[in-house]
Chains A and B, each alone.
Chain A
């Protein structure tokens, strides 16, 4: 049994006396946990649809692999890859050839199978395991023919890969004659493999760690390893053998955040190769486990079923788990496309264009299994069919082409294989939710519609759905029993309601159907450090997607989201019967009282419900809570055994003698108990609780297994609030409840989408939370497999916490009516009786006074207050103490001047804060040599030059704009050193990039990780509009994801793009702390970021839902320590700068940050405070009275901040740090970084909760071979960029603005072409300095990703060929022309020519594209003028400016979030229904100016590309123009009208 730190095997395993298969690195070290590794990658295949097996297919497959190398990654060693591999059909002739010499006589194909097996290198261990394999094979009635050691050549491998390299063998298994057919044999091989895997681990053999079966099949075989793509062929000489033939080659190159060497994690797996991420993995695994006991199939004996369990290997990656399930379902008789449709369904719920039979299929299967949700491009094969599918959102790219010889090639990029263009008969791209299938038996591509019709019509799914029950169809309850109204206050107290909950959280929900919005960060204690009694929900922090997977926009991309879930249904996943559709459908997860009663008394189709009381006797010190948990779990089991299929857990019986079990604990305890007992699939779990009132509560309950929640006390509270007139507007009770539920629904969608999850069934039980401050024993028992790194309170303290509230509710003498209301709260605004805050009236005052008056004594008083707070801890660092002091003289310590260079201010946009605040901070940081940050709002170019002494701000921007004038010193500069690149890409131009010292990619923001943002229209004045390239008065949306980062390799691409955009700037990737951020940081380091910033969850915001501010993300101490540990462990630490921020306040805080691994630090809130911020928390209302976070000119005048204050602040902070350094004996910051040995958990903590907290994990020390701080530079690979050639070629233009004409050849590996050239032009000549068409390059071939990114005016790139993703991203005035090869035989208008996310964030320039473009075309375009023939889904999303002309069809959800610019669309029958009309209107094109514009753009298109389509339209222009419609954002139209009016009036004046 290997030593791994995993929970004990669930009881379902004990039943068979077996242990889990363990093939992967499972050891945790400190904060590193292998469970959080991610991968993403390049994937592709080639197949000869005629079925001819040739060696050429194999070698071409390997060629594709090599051409996708840039999508994979290597670790600290260049020659150790993350993994690569190839899956092929059984190369029978090759095996015949090579086995004869080793004495193996192979029978005919189909009667033997081959296993590709990793074995220990040590011969004794290996032989023993081989013996076990042979025994298992024979136990399963088959026989081993022999073993072949696979020849390998490890000479090119790096040391890490070699350290984990197994001995690789092939085992040949003969089919027993009693098996009916080859497929029965394949199933038997599957059983053998699962059985062997389990047996070997169970036996605990030495070397079991090294054992792994890549594949065991009669049809296919898998060659893979921890290799780089080019190493695959060299490592496996077999692959080079001419006799090695296959009609299929499925390949994969892996980019992993993976931090431990692992061979088995390489793709492909047995059935598939995956590019993407399964976000719902935890829930999917749990649900699969829950279903195991019900599995039965006529294709498998009961003994076989036992042998294949567990279905999902607990320690595999997400892709491996998906493969496990696909394999099971395929083996049990479903076709592989059928299985893919089940597991990765398209967004069917709201699709008006989808057929009824398909909807029925999806709905029926939705009852069987929850979607495996997340961005995914999955290529799969069973040896006969080969295909690929995309997730419902289409978040991964896939392109394909077919040759006239019926060779099909598909890959993550176009251009991976070069074929003569005249040979290509078809080019396309995978579309969201569409299946792409080719059959080697039928020798053709089977269209999506055809294959799906075939599958959907195979069984009468629609008819079977007649068994479905909808709650509203159930009989209405005769009465709804509610506790008496006069006890409402008692019950509110018992469940921890505060005045704030009512006034700040619930009131807005009830009134407006929206979650409450707040601003600035949270600075209150973690629940486990608070004196107050907290509800258990507060101990759970929401996790979110960053880098390895994108969050979703639940508002603009609502079409993919769904709240429908199901209760009931047949548990056996391996069959399909009418009774599988015997389900209860829940429209949404929040049940009204009426709906709950209908369910409680359900008596239909055999459904009955059992209500279990979840209260316990309110007596202290007798472990009543634990006993009650045992009782309810037992009752749940009994209920299921008695046949109840709906279990309602209820805390309604709470009274003066009975306290409620925390609802979350009750739900999760029952959920996990039932999973362990194999019963979970047999009943739906519903919670009726008085506790749930805010969105986070509902999310927790669902995330831990509840199918629905009835918040009866929240409803009653709403009624009471109405009765007492506490709701600002007059709403009926019905409307009030409706609004509340609506707000919860929206909030849930937002929380789900933060993690990239689109459907409730996949969210239920997905456990997307990290626990902070709950004892391991409690987590393991009741919240099994929840990440928890800070051990804390046990059941006794949870019980005490509950009883504290209970006593307060029921024991306190009732005081005079009204006087004794609820607790004040004080979470969201400071209150004397409320929660403690780090920024209190006292600390704010002292900090301001110290910095305004240069008063070091006041500073020390301030730090004493803050650091004392850490003795009465608010944060995790408050639980740490310094140890091993070795005092030195402070004179020996690095100087203040040197330390302040390590400080940065936070990313706050011009827009979220005022011009005055933004520039004051910039001046100060520039003087210090530190760094200020633009935030995501662009920057006024007038700030880019340093000024002469005595220059006033008004001299630069004019007196009208400088509302608070300020005289500057010689050399001062208003320029922000860090330029942020966020998802909105506001004002991100070539000029912006060139004028940066650092470019920061904001992956997430501490206050609202995983969410987008919105700058309300009233904050967008003319100035801000101009800086952001948008229209004044029109709200601006920042999408939740960067649309060019759906995955780690995409981030690497953006890093590369930005480095091309400014080769002198360092690249910084901003992450937010959460479990697994260390592995993400490692990935980011591998993606060549120069700086990794780990933000704490408590960072500030200009506007965010209050529940996000409080409940999403984790403290930086955890994330930073984890990132540092993982980076050191992987030898990556010395090549990145590690930075942290989040409520850093004093030198002590900074010292701890340094010792946990950060050599640079960011401070935002405190810097604002010294400029006058008094934590109004009103940034979102534009009413900041001190002129910091407002654009109101009247209020901006109140700004009294001075750069000197900010300078003093940072100098004091540095001095404060120096004092600590002297005390600890550190002379430099560098030597201090990562020195956790000088930190110790604080001793003598007596706080009733805090005393249980264990922070040792944070202090885990990883020894480093190189420095623990950044000491080397990343190799960005800029030297090999094609642009180096272009610079030479274009020297006359670069140097003298002379015209250049040239031709160049492109391949997909030439990425980001034209960007360095553009940057150089900007640098030399300034923005827009070149004449149009000064440089004109004619390119042929396939353009790699990010072609002409940030291309500037004067540069024209003409491509004859095709292009990949991110075409012209950030286009800054350049021109692109793209058309298919002139000798193409296919119809250019209907074939894919450019990938996804073209023109993302383009600000100006133009382009003409003859062909089809992919998804999200022109997303966030703010100025480019583009003509294209047709586009995919989500076109013109979030567009704020520019023009888009589409000559043929558009995909779904066009113009979502479009707030500016104009689109002209060809109006076919689907166009209008595909436009998302939330923000736009569709008009006819009638205005003369519009008509002229449209005609001129189409004429230019015809001229530049020679488009036949354009020519045809122009030929009959009078009629053609009638077929176009104009899509115009409503707000934009209004703003334009207002501006025109204003101009007219101004003209008069």
Chain B
């Protein structure tokens, strides 16, 4: 399996990127894929470990050694089969997953890790390009109906799985188009919306019904769902942004990141009017010609950076409350853990020309007489004692005209649907659903709505696990749907 000595012979090579000056001219994806032969060589680098930490590190449990081997052996069809057995949407994760698998790759102990994400994307795009992704509706229908509320990665994954099991699935989406955060949060240059649509279309052809502009609890009564469906799956995401309650917050030009990003995605998609992710019409936010301050150092912040640059911002500064992370792994982030933000990295957007600063605490948003933002008064923090202390005399002003708040999300929106369904919430405000079943019989939850904000890969995983729970609930406890932790042929008691 694999090429025994491949990791010694070949160097890591991932898909590349177009040069900055070229890519910032538009919103298209700027990856440069590898040739088929190059990908096969990357597959050869896999060592087929006895304990594949990559596979363990993958929230979906992708059987990475198997598909690497298949690719190396030019069995792209088998590679696809393996990949699809654990991952409903490799075209999403292949683009935007931070790839904890690669952090866990054993080759990574001694050399740059196997380019797993590159291989993954190559497999699925090869499949789309070569007609392997034709619709395959289930052979039999069970007659059971399931409503999935929310069409983000977790809702889509749940819908896809439940549809495979033969249940009739309807997906409710309050926005105009399906995809959730992938549609409205992630910029096109990172994930082309055709990729999302292509998948949604395939699912529709396989029998999944999508109802958009259908806001359950608002324009679709909860009772309708309860009546018409045997089970309900809640996958509405964690959409309540964390706010910055400092003086001046109400100033003009201070926006939650998601409003800015959603609006731009609408713009790129040439959809009518500008809407936020709730589908509500909003006023235009543009970074063009402005000095932009992005508060929050995470992925969403990065997306704001890239979008601002493309809109023609005069400058972009991204600040982070926490101190600058170390360049490499540390004692606290040893192999095979995924260090995530605990290790310094530069995103493609950040590479496009933004400044970054750390240990910055915003104190006040400064406004001109019209209430427009003209700057932010901030202070530097000293983290050396493990907790933040303001550095005396370090106060300064960041001059800017647009402030984007990218400090994460708190929990799902509680109003309307959740309230009306009456599901219990956990202490963080997420839907309480151990093993995906909520406190209300027949109602299940998955994704960020249940576990809090997280990665797309986790959302897909949540959707799959939830689907298995739903399927089992519909089938008196038995389910043959795949899920990562349980084999299909085992018993505990």
A residues sitting closer than 8 Å to B (CB atoms) are 493, 496, 499, 503-504, 520, 530-533, 724-726, 728, 800, 804-805, 807-808, 811-821, 823-824, 826, 828-834, 837, 839-842, 844-845, 849, 853, 1174-1178, 1181, 1183, 1185-1186, 1192, 1194-1195, 1198, 1246-1248
Question: Can you list 19 contacts pairing A with B, beta carbon distance less than 8 Å?
Answer: A520-B50, A726-B75, A805-B489, A812-B488, A813-B138, A813-B140, A814-B139, A815-B482, A816-B138, A820-B482, A823-B487, A833-B485, A833-B488, A840-B56, A1175-B49, A1176-B50, A1177-B49, A1178-B47, A1178-B50
Are A812 and B84 touching (Cβ within 8 A)?
Answer: no
Chain A residues with Cβ below 8 Å from B51 are 829-830, 837, 839-841, 844, 1174-1177
Are A1176 and B65 touching (Cβ within 8 A)?
Answer: no
Q: Which 8 pairs across A and B sit closest by C-beta, in order of nearness?
A: A1177-B50, A812-B480, A832-B61, A841-B56, A531-B490, A808-B489, A818-B81, A1175-B51
Are A813 and B480 touching (Cβ within 8 A)?
Answer: yes
Smallest CB gap from B75: residue in A: A725
A816 to B164, CA, bound (A): 7
Chain B residues with Cβ below 8 Å from A853 are 331
A830 to B63, CA, bound (A): 10
Chain A residues with Cβ below 8 Å from B248 are none
Partner of A818, one of B75, B84, B480, B482: B84
Q: Mark B209-238, 1 if CB is under 8 A from A, else 0.
A: 000000000000000000000000000000
Are B4 and A1181 touching (Cβ within 8 A)?
Answer: yes
User: If the complex has contacts A813-B140, A815-B165, are A1246 and B493 also in contact, measured as CB distance less than 8 A?
Assistant: yes
A728 to B104, CA, bound (A): 28
Q: How far is the CB of B83 from chain A (nearest CB, A)?
A: 10
Q: How far is the CB of B334 from chain A (nearest CB, A)?
A: 6
Smallest CB gap from B160: residue in A: A816
A119 to B276, CA, bound (A): 104
Chain A residues with Cβ below 8 Å from B436 are none
User: If the complex has contacts A503-B1, A830-B56, A1186-B110, are A533 and B490 also in contact, measured as CB distance less than 8 A?
Assistant: yes
Are A1194 and B8 touching (Cβ within 8 A)?
Answer: yes
Are A813 and B142 touching (Cβ within 8 A)?
Answer: yes
Is B492 interfacial (CB-CB < 8 Å)?
Answer: yes
Q: Mark B134-148, 1 if CB is under 8 A from A, else 0.
A: 001011101000000
Partner of A1183, one of B4, B142, B482, B489: B4
Q: How far is the CB of A466 from chain B (nearest CB, A)?
A: 52
Q: How far is the CB of B407 from chain A (nearest CB, A)?
A: 31
Smallest CB gap from B57: residue in A: A841
Chain B residues with Cβ below 8 Å from A1247 are 492-493
A829 to B51, CA, bound (A): 6
Smallest CB gap from A532: residue in B: B490
User: If the complex has contacts A819-B85, A829-B50, A853-B331, are A834 and B139 also in contact, measured as CB distance less than 8 A?
Assistant: no
Partner of A808, one of B55, B107, B136, B480: B480
A1248 to B491, CA, bound (A): 7
A820 to B5, CA, bound (A): 31
Chain B residues with Cβ below 8 Å from A812 are 480, 488
User: If the complex has contacts A813-B480, A814-B139, A824-B63, are A1183 and B75 also in contact, measured as CB distance less than 8 A?
Assistant: no
A1489 to B258, CA, bound (A): 87
Is B290 interfacial (CB-CB < 8 Å)?
Answer: no
Q: Mark B155-168, 1 if CB is under 8 A from A, else 0.
A: 00000000011100
Smallest CB gap from A1172: residue in B: B109
Chain A residues with Cβ below 8 Å from B492 are 531, 1247-1248
A533-B490, A1192-B8 given. 16 additional CB < 8 A pairs? A496-B489, A726-B78, A807-B478, A808-B480, A813-B142, A828-B50, A829-B49, A832-B61, A832-B485, A833-B482, A833-B488, A845-B334, A1174-B53, A1183-B5, A1186-B109, A1198-B110
A811 to B166, CA, bound (A): 13
Chain A residues with Cβ below 8 Å from B106 are 1174, 1176, 1185
Are A532 and B489 touching (Cβ within 8 A)?
Answer: yes
A479 to B1, CA, bound (A): 37
Smallest CB gap from A496: residue in B: B489
A805 to B489, CA, bound (A): 6
A819 to B161, CA, bound (A): 11
What is the total number of residues of chain B having a CB less than 8 Å from a CB of chain A?
58
Is B394 interfacial (CB-CB < 8 Å)?
Answer: no
Chain A residues with Cβ below 8 Å from B5 are 1183
Chain B residues with Cβ below 8 Å from A805 are 489
Smallest CB gap from A504: residue in B: B1
Chain B facing A: main interface SS: loop
Partner of A845, one of B165, B336, B486: B336
A530 to B63, CA, bound (A): 22
Are A804 and B491 touching (Cβ within 8 A)?
Answer: yes
Chain A residues with Cβ below 8 Å from B482 are 815, 819-820, 833
Chain A residues with Cβ below 8 Å from B138 are 813, 815-816
Chain B residues with Cβ below 8 Å from A800 are 491
Chain A residues with Cβ below 8 Å from B488 are 808, 812, 823, 833
Among A504, A532, A821, A841, the most chain B Cβ lie within 10 Å of the Cβ of: A841
Q: Which residues of chain B from 307 to 339 have any CB-CB distance to chain A below 8 Å in the complex?
A: 331, 334, 336-337
Is B73 interfacial (CB-CB < 8 Å)?
Answer: yes
A1194 to B136, CA, bound (A): 49
A1246 to B136, CA, bound (A): 41
Chain B residues with Cβ below 8 Å from A821 are 81, 85
Q: Which residues of chain B from 345 to 372 have any CB-CB distance to chain A below 8 Å in the complex?
A: none
Q: How far is the CB of A722 from chain B (nearest CB, A)?
A: 13
Q: How far is the CB of A486 from chain B (nearest CB, A)?
A: 13
Chain B residues with Cβ below 8 Å from A842 are 56
Is B484 interfacial (CB-CB < 8 Å)?
Answer: yes
Chain B residues with Cβ below 8 Å from A496 are 489
Are A831 and B63 touching (Cβ within 8 A)?
Answer: yes
Is B184 interfacial (CB-CB < 8 Å)?
Answer: no
User: If the complex has contacts A819-B81, A841-B336, are A1185 and B110 also in contact, measured as CB distance less than 8 A?
Assistant: yes
Q: Which residues of chain B from 466 to 482 have any CB-CB distance to chain A below 8 Å in the complex?
A: 478, 480-482
Q: Mark B21-59, 1 if CB is under 8 A from A, else 0.
A: 000000000000000000000000001111111011100
A957 to B438, CA, bound (A): 67
Q: How far is the CB of B50 from chain A (nearest CB, A)?
A: 3
Is B7 interfacial (CB-CB < 8 Å)?
Answer: yes
Smallest CB gap from B61: residue in A: A832
Chain B residues with Cβ below 8 Å from A832 are 55-56, 61, 484-485
Chain B residues with Cβ below 8 Å from A820 are 85, 480, 482
Q: How far is the CB of B5 from chain A (nearest CB, A)?
A: 6
Smallest CB gap from A818: residue in B: B81
Q: Which residues of chain B from 74 to 109 have any CB-CB distance to chain A below 8 Å in the complex?
A: 75, 78, 80-81, 84-85, 104, 106-107, 109
Chain B residues with Cβ below 8 Å from A1246 are 493
Chain A residues with Cβ below 8 Å from B331 are 853
Are B47 and A1183 touching (Cβ within 8 A)?
Answer: yes
Are A830 and B52 touching (Cβ within 8 A)?
Answer: yes
Q: Which residues of chain B from 219 to 272 have any CB-CB distance to chain A below 8 Å in the complex?
A: none
Among A724, A726, A805, A816, the most chain B Cβ lie within 10 Å of the Cβ of: A816
Partner of B489, one of A804, A830, A840: A804
Are A819 and B47 touching (Cβ within 8 A)?
Answer: no
Chain A residues with Cβ below 8 Å from B483 are 833
Smallest CB gap from A830: residue in B: B51
Smallest CB gap from B80: residue in A: A818
Are A817 and B491 touching (Cβ within 8 A)?
Answer: no
User: If the complex has contacts A532-B490, A832-B55, are A813 and B165 also in contact, measured as CB distance less than 8 A?
Assistant: yes
Chain A residues with Cβ below 8 Å from B49 are 829, 1174-1178
Q: Mark B415-442, 1 if CB is under 8 A from A, else 0.
A: 0000000000000000000000000000
Are A1195 and B8 touching (Cβ within 8 A)?
Answer: yes
Chain A residues with Cβ below 8 Å from B55 are 830-832
Chain B residues with Cβ below 8 Å from A520 are 50
Q: How far is the CB of B182 from chain A (nearest CB, A)?
A: 22
Q: Mark B104-146, 1 if CB is under 8 A from A, else 0.
A: 1011011000000000000000000000000010111010000
Chain A residues with Cβ below 8 Å from B107 are 1185
Q: How far is the CB of A533 from chain B (nearest CB, A)?
A: 5
